[in-house]
Structure 1
Amino acid sequence: MGTARRLRLVGGMRALETVLVWDPARCFAYRVEEAGVPGVRAMMEEWRLAPSPYGGTTLHWTIALDVRQPVRPLWRAANPLLAGVLRRAARRLDLRIASAAVHG
């Protein structure tokens, strides 16, 4: 915990994140220290995994954003885009978990 990572996302967005929680089987949470996104003052994400009563795993994703007023409507309009990003990230996470289970 407390580990920082710099990343560049599709579209050229850059960020500096600090890991708050890292439990590979249950939870990953981080806060964004610096974001190359106009109007974002603060951001935090949590990915929580839990056994599903139907088999497999349930993913609970929480994102908290503090954005400046002029760009707030743009973030609301971006919700469908964020949902697609989450789906793709969840699929990659699922593949990583499956690969880790196979490789011990």
Structure 2
Amino acid sequence: MARRLRSVGLDFVESAPLRLVFAAEVAAPPDAVYRALADDVEGWPGWFTQVTAARPVDAGAGREVRLRGGIAFRETVVAAEPGLRYAYRVDASNAPGLHALLEEWLLAPAGAGTRVQWTFAADGSPLFRFLMRRGRAAVGRSFRDAVRNLDRRLPAAGA
């Protein structure tokens, strides 16, 4: 059963006890990447293979997301800046040991495309933090695969 997590603000992306930050580039312009992240929430399973289901709730102010392995999140969007940033806080989850989580996607022009930076900012039990640090390479691989898949779905800048 999902339990409430600690409510955090955008500043948590810098102060979280656990921060995993990854970046990759795509050929699509920032606005197209933003639309895939923020406007096409239900499309996430088509490019982020760890996501099995996603849907907007509360008229787009929140999301419900399910991951492989049965982990579920109820989220609140905390930043929606078209072409620049999309961030959400997890309010409830069934993930063991998780106490707080905020994810931020930053978008910046890079050549003809976009640099996508994802920050996974979390707090949790000592075991949770240990396992996430230990699994950093796998989380990074999942992110890079997702961005590669997204790049294939979106039209390149100037196309």
Q: Please indicate the TM-score interval, normalised by the length of the shorter structure.
A: 0.7 to 0.9
Instruction: Give the aligned partner of residue 148 of structure 2.
Output: 91
Tell me how far 1:83 sits from its aligned partner. 0.5
1:53-86 superposed Cα distances (whole Å, 9 cap, x missing partner): x332111221211011133211111101110221
Identity %: 38
Task: Supply the RMSD in Å over aligned alpha carbons.
Answer: 2.3
TM-score normalised by the chain length of structure 2: 0.55
1:14-55 superposed Cα distances (whole Å, 9 cap, x missing partner): 111111122342211001111221111000011111111x33
Instruction: Give the length in aligned residue pairs.
Output: 100
1:17 corresponds to which of 68, 75, 94: 75
Instruction: Give the aligned partner of residue 116 of structure 2.
Output: 59
Partners of 1:36 and 1:92 in 2: how far apart? Answer: 27
TM-score normalised by the chain length of structure 1: 0.80
Instruction: Give the aligned partner of residue 126 of structure 2.
Output: 69
Tell me how far 1:96 sits from its aligned partner. 4.8
Q: Secondary structure at the match of 2:155?
A: helix
Distance verdict in 2 for CA 1:65–1:89, change over 3 Å: same
Unaligned runs of at least 5 residues, structure 1? none
Partners of 1:17 and 1:47 in 2: how far apart? Answer: 15
State the one-letter code of the partner of 1:44: L
Tell me how far 1:5 sits from its aligned partner. 1.3
Q: Assess if the C-alpha contact under 8 Å between 1:2 and 1:20 holds in 2.
A: no
